[in-house]
Amino acid sequence: MDEITPSLNLVTVNGRLSWSRVNGTDPIHLKAKQVYVRAGELLIGNETHPFETDAEITLYGNRKEASLVMTGSFETGNKLLLNTGLVKFFGKPRDRHTRLQTSVYKDFDTATVETGLDWVTGDQLYFAPTNHQWQHSEYRTVEEYNSQTGLLKVNQPFNYYHYGDFTSSASKYNGVDIRGEVRLLSRNVRVAGSETNEEWGGNILTLDRMEFDGSVRQGTTQLDNVEVVNCGQKNTFNAAIRFEYTGAKRDSFVKNSVVHTSHAWSLYITASKSIQVESSDFIGAKAVGINLNSIQNVTLDNIFVGDVQKREWTGLD
């Protein structure tokens, strides 16, 4: 695949669909209401050659759209990337996070962070709160970053104070560094839900299933340096990323990735096994950042969860 598609209804993959590198710097964008990787492979980059240019999948629709029905009455949902085959997305490696080197005060539009980062104009950032006001999360866009000095200019002034220092506080607080964390939200490989006013985003679902002929499909999803944004569906179990009744092949993982601005949970793993979640950020979920239920050998390592927001439950929705 080497183009920006029109908005499609259903894309079913029974062979191999991969993002082409031929067009150099041109972005590649798949737009669809549903993407179903049934018995094939959906590939963006690979382990040894991450995808270097912009690649995006945007999922369209609203809560009243028809659900994708697998077998019988089992509905997986809509606005969905459903995988019972192989999905491998490998984006360009990025510097995932830093800490504030000096404190930031209200109305500042600059901050000092570590030097030598690969951050560029247009990158989206998350500034974590550093005081008792846990609601003081802030989201900003990079306007300028000097990799030699660490001086960072953002698109609008800060509303809150964020503590920083050139020296870690770990020696003072039993190994805890309390300097403000700054997390990178941008990746060049993205899965996004289209914008709606009803908090109904996209979602990525991996599962194992049995076909009508008795054959078994075993889903494997590998996400490395991927951004998942505007996903999850309000007041449902449909998290931005879902692993359900899967794991027999023992090779699914989420690494070096970020899930942010979700309309429900960021990650839901249920009745599954042997899934690795490593060095990834889950920011801006509703009610719960990560939900694990009835799992075996699921590992979480070097995970950041931030700005988990109150869910406004509306029973009539």
pLDDT digits (tens, 9 = 90+) for 68-118: 766 554 567 899 999 999 999 999 999 999 999 999 999 999 999 999 999
Looking only at the bridges linking them, the beta strands covering 138-145 and 124-127 are: antiparallel
Confidence of residue 27 (pLDDT cuts 50, 70, 90): confident
Which pLDDT score, from 0 to 100, does residue 239 have?
96
What span, in angstroms and rounded, lies between the C-alpha atoms of 157 and 214?
59
Which pLDDT score, from 0 to 100, does residue 35 have?
96
pLDDT digits (tens, 9 = 90+) for 268-291: 999 999 999 999 999 999 999 999
When the pLDDT of each residue in the chain is averaged and rounded to a whole number, the result is 93
Which pLDDT score, from 0 to 100, does residue 70 have?
62
Whole-model pTM: value is: 0.94
Residue, of 29 and 317, whose pLDDT is higher: 29
Which pLDDT score, from 0 to 100, does residue 310 have?
86
Which pLDDT score, from 0 to 100, does residue 7 have?
93
Percent of the chain with pLDDT over 70: 96
Which pLDDT score, from 0 to 100, does residue 316 have?
46
Pair 231, 260: CB distance under 8 Å: no
Confidence of residue 317 (pLDDT cuts 50, 70, 90): very low
- Tell whether the model's pLDDT for residue 311 goes beyond 90: no
- Tell whether the model's pLDDT for residue 243 goes beyond 80: yes
Percent of the chain with pLDDT over 90: 79
**Lowest-confidence segment of 19-28, 130-139, 216-225 by average pLDDT:** 19-28
Confidence of residue 132 (pLDDT cuts 50, 70, 90): confident
Neighbours of 211 (CB within 10 A): 13
Confidence of residue 248 (pLDDT cuts 50, 70, 90): confident
Confidence of residue 130 (pLDDT cuts 50, 70, 90): very high
Residue, of 311 and 115, whose pLDDT is higher: 115
pLDDT digits (tens, 9 = 90+) for 159-169: 999 999 999 99
Which pLDDT score, from 0 to 100, does residue 76 have?
79
